[in-house]
Structure 1
């Protein structure tokens, strides 16, 4: 691959610079990987093209940003990031794997305003006039695309120019992150069918495993260990406090956007989780706070799961006070995150960047 413009030297990266460097790295990596795969058989072009679109089709690159600042907090402001960048970019391939599989499980039609992998693959099936059922082809192809992105993530991470002992130490946390994300996804899949009754506590547990750990806490610690920090030292302990608070705020904001967000901004239809009866923190708060006629109406609307009821259901979540309580919970976690940053052994630029990332995760509109 060609050399990637460096970030993280003596001057703090400008907003968006980390994402730009990661995108350039991913583009060059995927160009080479696509050429290698299609040389095996031209038919692989269908899968590779959709996979490439899923990786490069937008996204905030939050996980690689958190990992970068985790690394930066460990090494200080004077280390160039060239050697570590492939390990950071690998997180975006892992994230694509999770998104593609999640969209198959949820039967989602769009992601970031574009067709999901299974829908895009089904469209290619129709356009090429292939035999068989396009939807089944799309779902099967998407599963393989998710698996492919998992393999790509490992291949890219292995290109980091770091000591073997450092990579092995970081890999332990990386693997733990993947296990927790899978556990959280399965608990999310169980939903109301879980052996224990749904509750706010259980919904928060899913949010911690599926989102908080995987989006913020583990990438931060992964970056720190790549920078030579102790796995259980003062820096990684501070990152854990910060990461879980910011990660939970991220997921709670996602709950609100899923009901009240603008689809033109979020890139996904409003009310998908409600239509599926998914046990979110917002919904569990409403169940706990609704009384009398409101509780009866909530049960009735959730049982019907009719698309035309979504506006009434959203209004009901507001009337119960659940949306306001969720806002309060987000603010509480933001305050905890800022306290963790203030207490952490960080240089001023890293402390400032992590403060900006709190806002990016908790006040976003998409």
Structure 2
């Protein structure tokens, strides 16, 4: 059965409860407001240093303006799920703190696009491409491509610096900040290590499906769900038991999220995803989809993978042939099955978690949104 047939025959997941949906929108709005206020100040700071720095601030803003705010949402509801009765951290301070996750994410996206040679991100030129064009338009001296790459590395670094600053200035108590730092540091170490593992796999290390899952675990899954949930728990002052509960939710859900991202990277609608559906194939991205196809392909299929995957000059026919191979080998169907299985595991953990009822409803809605998304 093809993945499309499976999608048609699978029972629809229940929709988010109305209250959960409204609360998710409220948190998204508050996170966006926190980012806007912070970036307004930073833009003025850079402009005061020299007006030529304004495009750097504007690039970070453009990166932070996009996205679904999933990481802050998981962190906020991780906090709401286990926050203590009585006086505690101020809601607005928590929202500003979790908004800092968007800068960590922006940094990872910029650096990832440089390493992958991606051309677009969220419907606009990738940061290194945009700054290379700025070099050309400004008739600057030297190599425009090198200027774009160097600028992008610095934009990503600045976003990471600002993530620390926003967290520190969020208004959380000193005790909550101290608790949060342990999770924060682990998360940022893991995502950086995951980026290296991705490079290593692309160079032939970490082979096979397990290698693909290891990269997904550290490059994306952990810092998308597990660590944000644990960050919220740390802010609340919850103990080790809460961290374990959130790991049981976060690891399978984070994996399902990344696998959905991999499918969209090849089969998604560019008008919806904001990036070409050809880039992952031209870059030769070694996802679970590819690993499973390599295992199941016959000699002809393996020749196609060897000749067209990772070929920047592959034409539309080559890329369509690769997509067909992912379908006919059953690779896409198997990835869809794993997404469904890991999502179900996470939702079962959410249903049984000893957390507040409103947080349980919100996290379940997020689980559905994160794994059935089209962008």
TM-score, reference length from structure 2? 0.89
d(CA) in 2 for partners of 1:364 and 1:303? 26
Q: How many residues align?
A: 352
Q: Quote the Cα distance in structure 1 between the aligned partners of 2:261 and 2:127.
A: 21
Task: Quote the Cα distance in structure 1 between the aligned partners of 2:310 and 2:259.
Answer: 23
Q: Structure 1 pair 122/192, CA: closer, same or farther in 2 (3 Å)? A: closer
> Does residue 341 in structure 1 map to residue 344 in structure 2?
no
CA distance in 2, matches of 1:318, 1:352: 35
Segment of structure 1 superposing worse, 162-171 or 262-271: 162-171
**Higher mean C-alpha displacement, 330-339 vs 124-133:** 124-133
TM-fit CA distance, 1:209: 0.4
1:283 corresponds in structure 2 to 290
Name the structure 1 match of 2:98.
88
Mapped partners of 2:133, 2:370: distance in 1? 33
User: Structure 1's 139 and 361: CA in aligned 2 closer, same or farther, altered over 3 A?
Assistant: same
1:60 matched to 2:76? The reply is no
Question: Counterparts of 1:285-304 in structure 2 under 5 Å?
Answer: 285-302=292-309
Shifted more, 319-328 versus 294-303: the winner is 294-303
User: How is 1:180-259 mapped onto 2 (pairs within 5 angstroms)?
Assistant: 180-196=190-206, 198-230=207-239, 232-233=240-241, 235-259=242-266
Question: Structure 1 length as normaliser, TM-score?
Answer: 0.91
- Equivalent residues of 2:183, 2:227 under 8 A apart: yes
**Alpha-carbon spacing, 1:49–1:163, altered in 2? closer, same or farther (3 Å):** closer
Tell me the distance in 1 between the aligned counterparts of 2:232 and 2:195.
Answer: 24
Higher relative contact order (CA 8 A, sep 6+): 2
Which structure 2 residue ranges, 5 or more long, are not aligned?
1-18
Measure how far apart 1:138 and its partner are.
Answer: 1.4
TM-superposition CA deviations, 1:106-159 (whole Å, max 9, x none): 111111101111122223223333333322221111111111111111110001
Q: CA RMSD in A?
A: 1.9
Instruction: Give the corresponding residue for 1:149.
Output: 159
Is this contact kept in 1: 2:179–2:237, CA < 8 A? no
Structure 1 gap ranges (5+): 1-10
Q: Distance in 2 between matches of 1:301 and 1:41?
A: 46
Separation in structure 2 between the aligned mates of residue 301 and residue 132 of structure 1, nearest angstrom: 33
In the alignment, which residue of structure 1 is the partner of 2:134? 124
Q: Residues of 1 paired with 2:138 and 2:329: CA distance? A: 51
Distance 1:132 1:26, change over 3 A: same
Distance change in 2, residues 1:303/1:17 (3 Å): closer
